[in-house]
Amino acid sequence: MGSLMVMAWGDNHGIIESRNLGTKFQQAYATHLNSASNKSVGDEIIQQGIVVSQPGSNYPNYHTAYILPHRDDGAVYEGIVSFTATEPVDVFINHRISLDNATLSQINNTKFDNLFLVYPHIAEQGGALPAIPFVVDGISPDYEGTTPSSPLYSATMPFIGDALLLGSNKSKPFIVFYDVSANIVEPEIVNHISDAFVNATENPYVSMRN
């Protein structure tokens, strides 16, 4: 079996600690993330804001800016985001995996290749990995039409997932102006992965619904 690839992403849900932005900005950023985290299934989020990126503690050359923080309650955001950034950024949407590490370890990585898993709370848990990781959609918008004289990078897209953030590996900070509208919904969990286990029989098909 191959190994699982693990990455630490967005320590402390993306809440920043920056000496350059000032206390008021830090408090406003923390408030906007906490506001989204405190919403429940059935609630709606409509935000308009400006966010400054921060380097990751484990990947200092990679700058990220959270728009909606990772959810711990199993619910997901479903909505649309529109943004303009000062650097060409990628859009990342997190998806919680509804399987524990013991189940994931049974996947035949030799046959299906490695899973790229992300654990968002490594720093908060003293280095211990949480039971439930997530995977990430990485989307690179088409910034056609952007010129050196007009270096603003804009996109609008629908999304659904456990978190929404923007990132750049250019080792440069960026500012993003955004509008986001999202409903918080509870997904039905459907897992059909028994075929992928190392000890799977030739053609099993077992539906596992949580």
Determine the residue type at 188: E
Alpha helices in 16-168 (DSSP H): 23-37, 101-104, 109-112
Tokens 């500012």 found at: 175
The pair of structure tokens assigned to 67 is 């728009």
Q: What is the pLDDT of residue 204?
A: 42
Q: What is the pLDDT of residue 207?
A: 42
Q: What is the pLDDT of residue 115?
A: 66
- The residue ranges of every structural domain in the chain are 5-209
Give which of 10, 89, 94 is closest to 54, Cα–Cα.
Answer: 10
Instruction: Report the distance separating Cα 202 and Cα 6, nearest Å.
Output: 30
Query: Do residues 122 and 8 make contact, with C-beta atoms less than 8 angstroms apart?
Result: yes
Alpha helices in 60-165 (DSSP H): 101-104, 109-112
Q: What are phi and psi of 161, to 5 degrees?
A: 170, -175
Rg (CA), the chain: 18
Q: What is the pLDDT of residue 147?
A: 66
The pair of structure tokens assigned to 60 is 């200092």
Positions in the chain whose pLDDT score sits under 50: 1-25, 122-127, 202-210
Bridge-based pairing of strands 5-8 and 116-119 is parallel
Q: What is the pLDDT of residue 130?
A: 53
Q: Taking the model in full, what pTM does it have? A: 0.71
